[in-house]
Structure 1
Amino acid sequence: MTEVKRINIDDPEVDMDMGQRLLYRGEPFTGEVEEYLGDARVSLETYVDGLPDGPSWEWYNDGTLRAEVTVRKGRAVGIARRWHQNGVLASERSFSEDNGMFLSSREWDEQGQPTEVWRKEDD
């Protein structure tokens, strides 16, 4: 089993090319990219050939999950979720599995009460 390479986004050897691909030591990066704010990890993203591709998470500074999404070749697919800092679900967005088309959205306030619902109309 191959060990997944993990780098810190603030590493001086991390860069972006003209095509907005993440580079590490001059090459498109494949692996996981962490971001820290002080000692707190605030994000972890998966990259393939310099593009976001795979699971991605964000956390608040206190470690509470802030967001999760799966990405393929830079586009969100499936269900993307965000949480309020108190842990209550804030939004859920649905994207098609094949091309990342935005399909629907639901949002809630910090008490969990629905505030918005949107769904793409069929063509």
Structure 2
Amino acid sequence: MRRIDIDDPEVDMDPGQRLLYRGELFTGEVEERLGGAVVSLETYADGVLHGPNQEWYKDGTLRSEGMARGGRPVGITRDWHPNGTLAAEREFAEDGLTMLSDREWDETGQPTRAWRKDGD
């Protein structure tokens, strides 16, 4: 799969907020680096976020992961605290518009929020 750096001077956005590379809608992976380390990796199709995406803290600890379809989140997305403890887990419907659940934890792993669309 083709991979580009988000900071490449040939990366741009069109008026519809689609990602362009060398003037064309981009399909492939887009990475962002900070001090030589990859801190973000996103997958695009025809200029729109579409596929897996991940972010890392500067030390390499996973910060977030999820899946997008047509620019919207689908399935389960997760965020982690800098210490590696799960911070949040959200579930989205396949339409990418409806959040089905939202759970959050503090840095010690204690639950701080739990919500489900059906009220459970």
> Is 1:106 the counterpart of 2:103 in the alignment?
yes
Cα distance in 2, alignment partners of residues 73 and 97 from structure 1: 11
Instruction: State the superposition RMSD in angstroms.
Output: 1.1
Q: Is there any run of 5+ residues in structure 2 with no aligned partner, and where?
A: none
Q: Which residue is 1:26 aligned to?
A: 23
Q: 2:79 aligns with which of 53, 78, 82?
A: 82
Cα distance in 2, alignment partners of residues 114 and 72 from structure 1: 29
Q: Deviations over 1:67-118 (max 9, x none)?
A: 0000000000000000001110000000002344111100000000000111
Match of 2:100, as an amino acid? L
Match of 1:6, as an amino acid? R
Match of 1:76, as an amino acid? P
SS of residue matched to 2:101: strand
> Is 1:50 the counterpart of 2:25 in the alignment?
no
Q: Which residue is 1:95 aligned to?
A: 92
Cα distance in 2, alignment partners of residues 12 and 119 from structure 1: 43
TM-score normalised per structure 2: 0.96
Cα distance in 2, alignment partners of residues 6 and 99 from structure 1: 25
Cα distance in 2, alignment partners of residues 100 and 84 from structure 1: 26
* Identity within the alignment, %: 68
Cα distance in 1, alignment partners of residues 96 and 56 from structure 2: 27
SS of residue matched to 1:98: coil
TM-score normalised per structure 1: 0.93
Name the count of aligned residue pairs: 119
